[in-house]
Structure 1
């Protein structure tokens, strides 16, 4: 993954932010929308593109664009930095390989401990019963 190359391929669009904010929100475009075409990227290898498309398939639209947006800040510049940071974190997490899970068995001591606690619990419940029955 070539991070610098990917950053040059990002497309940004500034739109009006939703929610409260009064006059400032009504006249300025502070929300930043980022779009990134996964297939046409030169910063990713073919294997990385496949992995990203598999892991982020629900976030990629029919045209092949991965879209994200940020409207956390009142500043367009801050929102741009935030959305770039979030995008890079998302890509890095999608490219990270998970360790294969190793199957384990419970130890002999843990089995005995479990059986002992079950036996003790059943004795407690048995002692609650009426002895005449």
Structure 2
């Protein structure tokens, strides 16, 4: 049996090619993946190849940093309102379908006989 799991350890403090703002955001957003020594640990065991797992771990590190470098898009109030209305409509439709389905099942039952 061959061990193909990869543990990529990246020491954030000594990375001089990353500015301090990105470093602090890395510490803040990925604090559960950082050990006591200050290493960001990324594990990968997706494939049965150690090289592919290393490539996967490196790509995940790159995407973490890229995500912090690129500014997040601001969501407009109009878009938020559209999302809220769609959600409300979906909830109303779901409840309507539940009531309709419940009524169908009630209609199938034999009438109750009272003595």
**Structure 2 counterpart of 1:96, from 70, 78, 84:** 70
More helix by share: 2
- 5+ residue gaps, structure 2, are 82-115
Using a 3 Å threshold, how does the CA distance of structure 1 residues 78 and 99 change in structure 2: closer, same or farther? closer
- The offset of 1:29, in angstroms, is 2.1
**Is 1:37 equivalent to 2:37 in the alignment?**
no
- The offset of 1:94, in angstroms, is 2.8
Q: Distance in 2 between matches of 1:77 and 1:64?
A: 25
**Structure 1 counterpart of 2:61, from 81, 84, 87:** 87
TM-score (norm. length: structure 2): 0.58
- The offset of 1:30, in angstroms, is 0.9
TM-score (norm. length: structure 1): 0.51
Higher relative contact order (CA 8 A, sep 6+): 2
Q: Distance in 2 between matches of 1:59 and 1:94?
A: 16
Q: Name which one, 1 or 2, has greater alpha-carbon Rg.
A: 1
Q: Distance in 2 between matches of 1:94 and 1:45?
A: 11
1:51-99 CA-to-partner distances (Å, cap 9, x unmatched) read 2112222222222111011111111111111111111112211333324
Q: Distance in 1 between matches of 2:71 and 2:32?
A: 19
Q: Distance in 1 between matches of 2:73 and 2:57?
A: 29
Aligned residues: 80
Structure 2 match to 1:62: 36
